[in-house]
Every structure is written in C-alpha cells, then in structure tokens.
Structure 1
C-alpha cells in the first residue's frame, strides 16, 4: 500500500508539472509500460544492416544529385546567378570565444548516446571548454577541413507509421544524432 501511494503521488506530481503535451505523453507512456522500440528490417542479418542503410542512403543522395544536375542543365543561362544576389563567401573570419559561449548557452540540453560527457556537464564546464572549442572551430575554418572525428553520427531508422513494413527502407525516416568526440 505504501509503495502504491508513493507511485500515485509521484506520477500525480509529474502530470501536474508537465508543461507540454510531449512531457504528458511521456509520463503516460511510462505509466502504461510503453517503450519506444526501433523496428529494424528482420529480413537482413543484423551485421549487414549498416551496409544496407549506407547503400540505400548513398543511392538516395546520388539520385538527388542527378536530379539537381538535370534541372540545372535545363535552366536558362545565368539562371543560378540570378538567384544569388549577395557576395560569394571566399574566406571566414575567426570566431570569438564570446560567440562560441553564446552558442553553447542557446543549445538544447540533449545528450547523444556516444557523447563522452553529458551535455549538462559540458554546460557546467563551459568556461574551461570554450577556449579549446573555439580553437578547434577556428582551425577548421582556416584550413577548410572538418575533422574526421566529428563526421560520425548515430542513425536510428524509424518507421513513418507503425503499420508499415520495416523491411522496406523507403518507408523509414531517419533520426540523425551527431556524435561529437572531443
């Protein structure tokens, strides 16, 4: 009985303080023991899935590029130049620690599964981390390269609708979660 009352009090307070529908649904789902389950294709061995997803998305990008190329070849001469009326970007200015700090403060407090530290800790240590982070950003801008270690992401395929076939990759949408390794 005591445990039941404690659970009731706990969930009642969670429902009361929920300010968004998302928070309310999250509490409701926990109460009903509903968990988010990523459905993945069952017709392919799990060891082959990363390559299948990679092939699928590479093909998708290739198709998009071909469509862009065919559109630009049919466009009237000078058409692309008419769309852009500004000055082309030929160099970057260095980013200040103040600007990086301001961007960090605007970030949502979300952590990726592979982040080396939780985002809340990053925020708590931002005064110590901002100088090094600013240096990395400025070196990337100066060299025109993006460090390979930052080119990683967790890709979680999600069915657009639960009634769709998880074996059909076209029916999946993806949730990209970038991984930043410092």
Structure 2
C-alpha cells in the first residue's frame, strides 16, 4: 500500500547509449530499494538501450538485476529492426507483491550488512569440561595476570613468576583431569565401562553417521527418513471430523493489527539469535534502528495482506542425536531441529502476541493447560498433579495417574481440523484465519 495521500509515484531515468551498465544499475537501485518496499505494484518500462536476445554482458546484468528485485520482463517479441528486444516492460513478478517486497528487502539488507558489518569467522575455546572447577579457574587467572605483567615490564622476575604460574596451572590441570577419569571409570559398572571409556576418549562426539558417501546423500537420506516417519505416524492416526458440540464463540478475531516501530524493535530484541546460516540476520539486530522503517512497512503490509510470505517459510533443518550414548548410524536416534529465518520469527511473534492476547482476554485457554500459558510451566503442572493426587488420597480414594508421551506430536497435527477449531470454537475468522492458514 502506498503512503497515505500518495497514490502513485513516477521516476524518470535515462541511460546514455554506451555508458557503463553497472553504474546505471547502481544508480536506479538507490531509489528502487525504497520503492519496492513501500509500493505493492512496481513497473519499470522504456528504452534503456539494452538489447535482449544477444547474450551480451549488459543483457545478463540487466536480467540479473530484474531477478534480484523480483521483477519480470513481459516483452518477449522483437521490437528492434535487428531482431532484438529493445523495449522493456518489467513489473512485479507472478509472486505476490508482499513476496516481492520481502525478497528485495532481504537482498538489500544482506548487501548493506556485508559492507557495514561483514561476516567474520572467529574461533574460540570452550572450557565446558566437568573437571574445570573454581580452583583451576583461579590458577588460570593467576597465569594470565603474570603473563600481562611480564609483557609490560619484560623483567627477569616477572618472567620467573609467569613460568612458575604456567607450570602450576598445567600441573593442576593434569591432576584434575586424572582424578575425573579415575572416578568416572571406577564408579561405572562393568557393562558400561566401554561406553564410559569411549566417551572420555571423545569417540561418542560423532553426531552424524559416516556410512554415506557425500553430504548431499546424507541430507537426502535424513530428509526421506523424517518424511516417511511423519507420514507413517499420521496414517496410523484415525481421522476425525470437527465435533459439533462446540458452542459458537462470543468473540471474534477478524484481522491482525498493524504495529508501531517501538513494538517492532521490542520484538526484534526479544527474538533469539538462532537463524539460517545463509541469512543476513541476526546481524540485523546490531543495525536494526537503521532498517526499522522499511521493516515496519513490510510487516504491516504483510499483516494487511493476510498472507504469510513464501520466502519466510524457509528453514535450516539440523539432525541432532537424542543421547550421546546412542548409535549414530541409526537414524531413529535423531530428532530434526529447524532453524527458521530471523525475520520469520519476528513476524511470527507479531501474530502470536496478538493471538495470545485475544485467547487470554476471552478465556479460551483450557483450565488445566500449562503449556504456552503465561506464569505456567512444567513445575506448575507437576504441582497441580501432586496436589490433586494427595487430595484424593486424603479423601480415601485410590487415584490413577496416566502419562502420555506423543511421538512427533506437532508433526501429527491435523491442520484442517486445527483451522476448524480456530474458526468455529475460538472465533478466528476472515483475514486472521487466512493468515494462519497460509
């Protein structure tokens, strides 16, 4: 949607024949980056002195530029006496305007962040070992203190102190490590000694099977396994229709509301840093103030469109072994963990907070539900169960507690039934339901 009071905007650019195509594309990219975010429909047309159909470098650069900005060239017949296409009419591609705007925004953000905050690989050492206690930490601080003093003074006394502190640190390190290994082996039963020894030697740290030839083959194998597992589980669950005994809701949620820049910045800082490896986020957090206005326009445009962007449905799936002691060659011992796009989680949080507020205000949460409820947790759930069991015992009854653990619970949800419950029981209708359905 265009800004209030502004229905359309025109921009005239002229490219001199023979001029540098790269300079021209950089020039028009400056205003295109703003236009494609603020306007749902964008059209680029005219004679820009680039012949299509020749295979020239200028043609490849132009078509690449159109693709980067989610524009589609609609003239596909010759318009020049030489048999080439000279007239250009490019517009928002067959993707929705929201999808095009998100694609352009992600491209621009990545390009800008690579210049301002480039990616750098940094290696660090973790001391996540059970024998690295407070005594070792203190001795290491003493060693570093002596080292700094030696680097500053370069005296023989400081060198002697640094040498003695270093020797004492590594002596204590070997003692602590030896005590830990001895206590671990001695306290383990005979049947588990081999596994304990393998763990101490680091042999169980292998988290992926090695029986596959390449990384691509392994990824396809995991993908096929997880899909087959979920499909088999879903097929084993009997289908059920929407229950007819639900009463009509007294309240309705017809659409999600747009948000302010203050709310957006709060959500950006609230979202975790985990994201897809190839995504420019979460470096976005560092420079969020500079991109806030464009991102706010995008999110509010998405909320008004009632459709979740396709480009934000990308995830990076990592198979994690459930326990270090399990066989890494058995795919059943892995669980898939998906890292979503950073901005996908921001948009999801915008919708989630509004939906949660609606459910809380209208008391739609179950009376005994502890999951995803404010001020509730597994601790409060166990407290309630324990209290009920003790109450029944004091009353002379014999209570029976049944615990149910569902395998791949979220993957086996019937989406059609869930949407029906949202609509008929919880009153989520119209654009709000369309957004959740997408």
Q: Sort the TM-score into its range (normalised by shorter chain).
A: 0.5 to 0.7
Answering whether residue 287 of structure 2 is matched by residue 155 of structure 1, we say: no
Deviation at 1:129, TM superposition (A): 1.8
Deviation at 1:172, TM superposition (A): 0.4
Quick check: 98-107 or 137-146, which moved more? 137-146
Q: 1:45 to 1:108 in 2, by over 3 A?
A: same
Matches of 1:126 and 1:108 in 2, distance apart? 14
Q: 1:62 aligns with which of 231, 241, 244?
A: 231
- Give the number of equivalent residue pairs: 151
Quick check: 104-113 or 162-171, which moved more? 104-113
Contact 1:153 1:179 in 2 (8 A): yes
Answering whether residue 198 of structure 2 is matched by residue 39 of structure 1, we say: no
Matches of 2:318 and 2:295 in 1, distance apart? 27
Q: 1:145 to 1:51 in 2, by over 3 A?
A: farther
Contact 1:38 1:158 in 2 (8 A): no
Contact 2:274 2:342 in 1 (8 A): no
Q: 2:264 aligns with which of 100, 111, 128?
A: 100
Q: 1:125 aligns with which of 279, 287, 305?
A: 287
Deviation at 1:160, TM superposition (A): 0.8
Matches of 1:60 and 1:123 in 2, distance apart? 37
Matches of 1:89 and 1:56 in 2, distance apart? 39
For structure 2, list consecutive stretches of 5 or more residues without a partner in the other structure: 1-138, 146-199, 345-438
Contact 1:140 1:147 in 2 (8 A): yes
Partner of 2:431: none
TM-score when normalising by structure 2: 0.29
Greater relative contact order (CA < 8 Å, ≥ 6 in sequence): 1
Matches of 2:255 and 2:286 in 1, distance apart? 33
Deviation at 1:163, TM superposition (A): 2.2
Please state whether the residue corresponding to 2:240 is helix, strand or coil.
helix
Deviation at 1:103, TM superposition (A): 0.9
Q: 1:66 to 1:12 in 2, by over 3 A?
A: farther
**What is the CA RMSD across the aligned residues, in angstroms?**
3.9
Q: 1:102 to 1:180 in 2, by over 3 A?
A: closer
Q: 1:143 aligns with which of 300, 305, 312?
A: 305
Deviation at 1:87, TM superposition (A): 4.2
Deviation at 1:59, TM superposition (A): 2.6
Partner of 2:367: none
For structure 1, list consecutive stretches of 5 or more residues without a partner in the other structure: 1-6, 14-31
Partner of 1:28: none
TM-score when normalising by structure 1: 0.61
Q: 1:9 aligns with which of 137, 141, 160?
A: 141
Q: 1:88 to 1:67 in 2, by over 3 A?
A: farther
Please state whether the residue corresponding to 1:94 is helix, strand or coil.
coil
